[in-house]
Amino acid sequence: MLVVLLAAAAVRLPGLLYRAIWYDEAVTLLETAGYASPSWPSTPVLARIAKKNLAGAPSLHKIAEDLRRTDIYPPVYYWSLSLWRRWFGFSLEVARTFSLLCSLGTVFVFYLLLRCGNLEYPLVPTIVYAMSTEAVYLGQEARAYALAVFLVTTSALLAYLAWRATQYSKRSVVGYSLAMAVCCGAAFQTYYLALFPVGVILLWFFVNLWPVSWLIAVAPPLISVSLAGLGFSTLSQQLGARPSQLVGFVGIAAESKMLLSLNLQSIWTPYLIPVNQGLAQGVYVSLAVLVGLTLIHLLWHWQKTNRGLWILLLVLASVPSLGVAILDFVFNKHLHNLRYLALAEPAFTVVVTYGITRVLTSRQRLGISLLVIFLGLQMLTINWGHPQGFRVHPGLDVRSLAELIRTSSSPAHIVVIGEGDRNESGHPGSVIYELAPETTIVVLNAESNLQQLQANIQDYEDVWLVFSVDRGTTEVEYRFLDGLQKSERYQEVFRSWPAIHLRKGEKANESGAP
C-alpha cells in the first residue's frame, strides 16, 4: 500500500508543479486570501503589487461572508485551505498540495474500506482508482473536489465499521457513528453535490443500525443534518446561480448515455497525447463490458457476497449520476462535467475492476496481464508536466503565454488585461499570477478611461492585450485595441486568442510595411 501511495503521489506531482493556474484556481486563491472582489489596478503598476490580492490571512467569518456574496460555495474547504496557506505559504503549489494530500488520503481510506469488507484483491481497484483520470487531476488542483471525495469515502468507511462493530463492541459503534456524522456534515459543507452520496450513506447506516439500537440509528443522521443545515440557506442560491449557463435538458436517453460515458471517462480519458479514436472507443467499450460482467456475477452469486458492502458501493457508484440527472431535469441544465461525478469514482472503480479480480481468482496470470495492460493505458491519462490543464481550451494555458510575453518583448513592455464580466474576477488573477513580478500591468474594465490609459502607455515599446479567457472579448477591449491601432503608434505583430501583441512601428507604418 505504501508503494501505491508513493506511485499515486508521483503521477500527481508533475501536473501539480508545472500545470498553469486556471480561472477557478485563481478564484480559490482570492477567496482564501480575503480578496473575493479584488480591486485590480486601473493604472499601470508592477505585477508584484497586484499579486498581493492572491495572498492574505482573513478571518474565517470573512471567508464565509465572501462566499455567500460571491462564489456561493460552502466554506469548509476554503477555511481549511486558508489555514493551510497561513502555515505553509501562499503559492499555488502549496494550495494544490492540500488537494494532493486529500487525494492520497482517499486512496488509503478506499483501500481500508475494501479490505475491511473482505473484498478479494482490494489493491486492484485501489491501484486503478489511484491512477485514474479524474482522481489524478483533482489531486493536483486547488479546488474543493479532492477534499469532498475524501470526506465522502471516509464517511462510507466509518458507516461500514460502525455496522461491523455491532458484533463485538457497542463503544466502537458509538465512536464510529459519531465520526461518520461529523464527516457527512463536513462533506456537504465542502461541496453541495455531496448531498446525494451523503444521503445514501446515512440511509444505509439507518437501515442497518436500526435492528441494533434505534437511538444509535437515529442520532448520528440527525447530527449530520444539523451540521449540513447550516448551509441549506445558500444551497438554493447555488442551484439558481448562473441561470443562463449550461441551459437545456437533453432528454432522458441522451442524458443517460452522456452520464455513463462521463463515468467511464473518469477512469480513463486520454490526455494530451494523440490517441487513435478507435483505441479510445475500444477502451470505453471494454470498461462498459467489465461493468456488465460485474453486475452479472453479483446477480449470479448474490447470496455468497458481502451484500451490505456491495449495496453501499453500487448505490454510491450510481447516485451522483442520478443526482445530476435530477438537477438537469428540474433546472433545465446539462451539468455534464467529470468533476460533478467525482464523488462516484471510488465506488465506480470497484464495479469496473471486479471482473478483473474474478479472473485473478481463477486464472492469475491472465488477470495480471489484463491489469498490467489496463494500468499501462492509464498512463496516457497523466499530465507529465504540460502547462495546459485537463480538457481545456488553449486560452487557459496562461503559463506558456506569460513565457511568450517575457521572451518576445523588449524590457519596456506592458500587459493590458481585460477584466470581462465584473462578477468573474478570477481571470485577471490567473494571468497576473503567472506573469513575472516586474512586469508592468493594467486591468481594463467597463469604467476605464481609455484615452487616459492610451496616453499612459505610449512610452512602452510592446503592448500585450490579454482578453477575458472565460467570457470572450468585451466591447471595452475592442475599443481599446481599435484606439491604439488608429493612433498609428502601434502595429499588430501577433494574434493568438486570447492575446494580441502590438509593437511600436511608426517607421513601418510610414513605409506601409506590415
What long-range pairs does 248-252 form, CB within 8 A, spacing at least 24? 248/332, 248/333, 248/334, 249/328, 249/329, 249/332, 249/333, 249/334, 250/328, 250/334
In this structure, of 7-11, 205-209, 349-353, 373-377, the range with the lowest mean pLDDT score is: 373-377
More confident residue, 231 or 212: 212
Assess whether 319 and 399 both reside in one domain: no
Q: Once rounded to an integer, what is the mean pLDDT over residues 446-452?
A: 82
| Phi, psi angles (nearest 5°) of residue 126 | -65, -45
User: Does residue 421 fall inside a structural domain?
Assistant: yes
User: Could you tell me the pLDDT band of residue 371, with boundaries at 50, 70 and 90?
Assistant: confident
pTM of the prediction?
0.91
Helix 307-331 crosses helix 345-362 at what angle (to 10 degrees)?
140
What are 464's strand-pairing partners? Answer: 415, 501
Assess whether 231 and 307 both reside in one domain: yes
Assess whether 238 and 203 both reside in one domain: yes
**Angstrom distance (rounded) from CA 59 to CA 233:** 21
Q: Which residues are CB-neighbours of 483 under 8 A, at least 6 positions away?
A: 450, 451, 454
CB atoms within 10 A of CB 44: 16
Q: Which residues are CB-neighbours of 146 under 8 A, at least 6 positions away?
A: 99, 100, 102, 103, 106, 138, 139
User: Does residue 230 fall inside a structural domain?
Assistant: yes
Q: Could you tell me the CATH number of the domain that includes residue 414?
A: 3.30.110
Residue with cell 471567508: 63
Assess whether 259 and 407 both reside in one domain: no
More confident residue, 33 or 479: 33
**Which H or E run contains 434?**
helix 426-434
Alpha carbon distances (Å) from 100 to 126, 145, 204, 220, 222: 16, 11, 29, 29, 31
pLDDT of residue 101 exceeding 90, the answer is yes
> What is the four-CA torsion angle of 164, 166, 169, 174, rounded to 10 degrees?
100
Cell representation of residue 473: 472579448
Range from 119-123, 142-146, 353-357 that averages highest in pLDDT: 142-146
Assess whether 320 and 441 both reside in one domain: no
pLDDT of residue 395 exceeding 50, the answer is no
pLDDT for res 394:
44
- What is the b/e burial string over 214-248, where b = at least 16 CB atoms within 10 angstroms of the residue's CB? eebbebbbebbbebbeebeebbeeeeeeeeeeeee
Q: Strand ranges (DSSP E) for 327-454?
A: 413-418, 440-444
Q: Which amino acid is at 484?
A: L
Decide if 456 contacts 443 (C-beta within 8 A).
no
Decide if 429 contacts 30 (C-beta within 8 A).
yes
Can the peptide bond before residue 498 be classed as cis, meaning omega within 30 degrees of 0? Answer: yes
Alpha carbon distances (Å) from 76 to 26, 104, 190, 297: 18, 19, 5, 40
In this structure, of 33-42, 165-174, 194-203, 389-398, the range with the lowest mean pLDDT score is: 389-398
Assess whether 438 and 333 both reside in one domain: no
- Which residue among 381, 415, 430 closes a domain? 381
What is the 8-class DSSP label of residue 155? H
| Phi, psi angles (nearest 5°) of residue 499 | -125, 145
Burial of 486 (0-12, 13-18, 19+ CB in 10 A): exposed
pLDDT for res 506:
52
- Average pLDDT taken over every residue of the chain: 86
Q: Which amino acid is at 89?
A: G
Q: Which residues are CB-neighbours of 88 under 8 A, at least 6 positions away?
A: 94, 97
Cell representation of residue 264: 467511464
What are 462's strand-pairing partners? Answer: 413, 503
pLDDT for res 140:
93
pLDDT of residue 232 exceeding 70, the answer is no
User: Does residue 55 fall inside a structural domain?
Assistant: no
Decide if 494 contacts 500 (C-beta within 8 A).
yes
DSSP of 39-98, one letter per residue? ---SS-EEHHHHGGGG-----HHHHHHHHHHTT---SHHHHHHHHHHHHH-SSHHHHHHH
User: Does residue 472 fall inside a structural domain?
Assistant: yes
**Angstrom distance (rounded) from CA 186 to CA 146:** 13
Assess whether 170 and 144 both reside in one domain: yes
Q: Which residues are CB-neighbours of 388 under 8 A, at least 6 positions away?
A: 19, 20, 272, 394, 396, 397, 400
Cell representation of residue 101: 494530500
Alpha carbon distances (Å) from 342 to 54, 98, 200: 27, 17, 16
More confident residue, 230 or 94: 94
- Which residue among 381, 412, 445 closes a domain? 381
Assess whether 420 and 488 both reside in one domain: yes
Alpha carbon distances (Å) from 215 to 134, 220, 225: 39, 9, 15
**Which H or E run contains 486?**
helix 475-486
pLDDT of residue 470 exceeding 80, the answer is no
For the chain, the distance separating the N- and C-terminal CA atoms, rounded to the nearest angstrom, is 62
pLDDT for res 242:
63
pLDDT for res 512:
39
**Angstrom distance (rounded) from CA 258 to CA 247:** 16
User: Does residue 53 fall inside a structural domain?
Assistant: no
What is the 8-class DSSP label of residue 272? S
Assess whether 261 and 401 both reside in one domain: no
pLDDT for res 221:
93
What is the 8-class DSSP label of residue 469? T
Per the structure, how many domains does the chain have? Answer: 2
Assess whether 155 and 268 both reside in one domain: yes
pLDDT for res 271:
66
Question: Per residue in 292-351, pLDDT tens?
Answer: 989 998 898 888 888 999 999 999 999 999 999 998 888 888 888 888 999 999 999 999
Assess whether 193 and 315 both reside in one domain: yes
User: Does residue 453 fall inside a structural domain?
Assistant: yes
Instruction: State the residue range of the domain holding 167.
Output: 2-36+71-381
Helix, strand, coil % in the chain, rounded to nearest 5: 65, 5, 25
Q: Once rounded to an integer, what is the mean pLDDT over residues 382-400?
A: 68
- Which residue among 381, 407, 435 closes a domain? 381
User: Does residue 58 fall inside a structural domain?
Assistant: no
User: Does residue 43 fall inside a structural domain?
Assistant: no
Q: Once rounded to an integer, what is the mean pLDDT over residues 212-240?
A: 80
Q: Once rounded to an integer, what is the mean pLDDT over residues 41-59?
A: 92
CB atoms within 10 A of CB 147: 25
Assess whether 314 and 191 both reside in one domain: yes
Decide if 502 contacts 462 (C-beta within 8 A).
yes
